[in-house]
Amino acid sequence: MDFSELKAYLENLPEEWGVPQCSLIVRWGRETVFEDLVNVGRGDIYWLYSATKLFTAAMFCRLLEQGKLKLEDRVSDYLPEYARLEIADADGNRRPAQKPLLLEHLITMCGGLTYDIFHPLIVQAEDRTTRGIVRAIAGMPLVDEPGVTYLYSLCHDVLAAVMEEVTGVRYADLLRREIIEPLGMTGTCFHPKEEQEARFAPQFEWQGRKKGAVPCSGDNKFCFSPEYDSGGAGLCSTLEDYILLPEALANDGIGRNGYRVLKPETIEAMRTDHIFGSRRAGFDLRWERFRSYGYGLGVRTRIDHKDGGKSPVGEFGWDGAAGAYCIIDPSNRLSAFYVQHVLNMGPVFEEIHPKLRDLIYQGLEG
């Protein structure tokens, strides 16, 4: 193995792209084969934003595995207000949805929901709990019939409320009980306490390649209240904590301490592409960088090599708004996690993540 080119690329990100701080860890089996921290401290905490979705996907798949949920279940079986959904056309005219919203639609982002987190129904909701705000989201119009179109949205936030209903446990507590604590994570949570807030890495906003990034608020706009657990974007974590979940999923679903998160057959189902027919057009429109990927149960999943990328078919994972990115490759028992804290940086997704991915695989072959 030779990761010298990967290390050089990573350490040049501040100068080349204006990324003030970043870090990356790569594990092959249970061995850390590469780790580098650039201008950050070990144990620094970051908002994961949509990298939270890997936890939500894993938790949902655990409940599928346990028989507590089924993909074909109607959302309204758990959240009754989702039985009366409406669809809005381009002019704002509404009509009743003709198809039911299913759990499969939520986990695959094909529910017809949007990501309008500033919608008045969310902003003005009096009940600020997960269940309360998700109840309000049901009043927001869909963009299409459930199951027809892929559109990145609040689907996983709604799924968190479903999981609360079926287990009778607040979502933050459910994740802590089923995944976070059993895997040995100590710095991962939805609502950081004062001691954790003191360990947060500074958050930045990108101003362009020449101007770089400038400090900004350390808040997470997806955390609507201290009582709201966003299944789509609410977790914070550290480099050393987060990698424990990808590592487990890359090693037959078993963590390094022996705790089983998922069975191998469930992981196979998780990374099976669900983007077909009319769904593909929406996926391709939204994700140019994923042109050789599909979307499984809450994760991207590689389906071919038309993009020239080096990872194998079946490699999967997700990323986050501030630049977090994870790779899970069960065929090679490879897991990797990259984290930075820079918002509104398009090139991190289009250029930096693919380059890091390919340099990781190049290093394994070196």
Q: What is the pLDDT of residues 168-221, one digit of tens each?
A: 999 999 999 999 999 999 999 999 999 999 999 999 999 998 888 999 999 999
Give per-residue pLDDT as tens, 87-132.
998 888 999 999 999 999 999 999 999 999 999 999 999 999 999 9
Q: Taking 90 as the threshold, does the pLDDT of residue 74 lie above it?
A: yes
Q: How confident is the model at residue 288 (pLDDT cuts 50, 70, 90)?
A: confident
The model's pLDDT over 304-316, given as tens digits with 9 standing for 90+, comes to: 999 999 999 999 9
Domains contained in the chain, CATH given = 4-52+172-365 (3.40.710.10), 75-167 (no CATH)
Number of neighbouring beta carbons within 10 Å of residue 309 = 17
Q: What is the model's pLDDT at position 252?
A: 98
Q: Distances in Å between the alpha carbon of 17 and those of 61, 209, 348, 361, 362?
A: 37, 5, 9, 22, 22
Q: What is the pLDDT of residue 178?
A: 98
3-state helix, strand, coil in the chain (%, to 5): 35, 15, 45
CA distance 268 to 188: 26
Signed CA dihedral, 327, 329, 332, 335: sign only: positive
Give residue 32's identity as a one-letter amino acid code.
Answer: T
**pLDDT tens digit sequence for 319-340:** 999 999 999 999 999 999 999 9
Residue type, 306: K
| Claim: this prediction has a pTM higher than 0.85 | yes
Contacts of 127 (CB under 8 A, 6+ apart): 133, 135, 136
| Residue 59, phi then psi, degrees to nearest 5 | -65, -40
133, pLDDT greater than 80: yes
Which residues make beta-bridge pairs with 340? 22
The amino acid present at 175, given as its one-letter code, is L
Q: Provide the token pair at 66.
A: 């346990």
Length of the chain: 366
- Sign of the alpha-carbon dihedral angle for 158, 83, 108, 176: positive
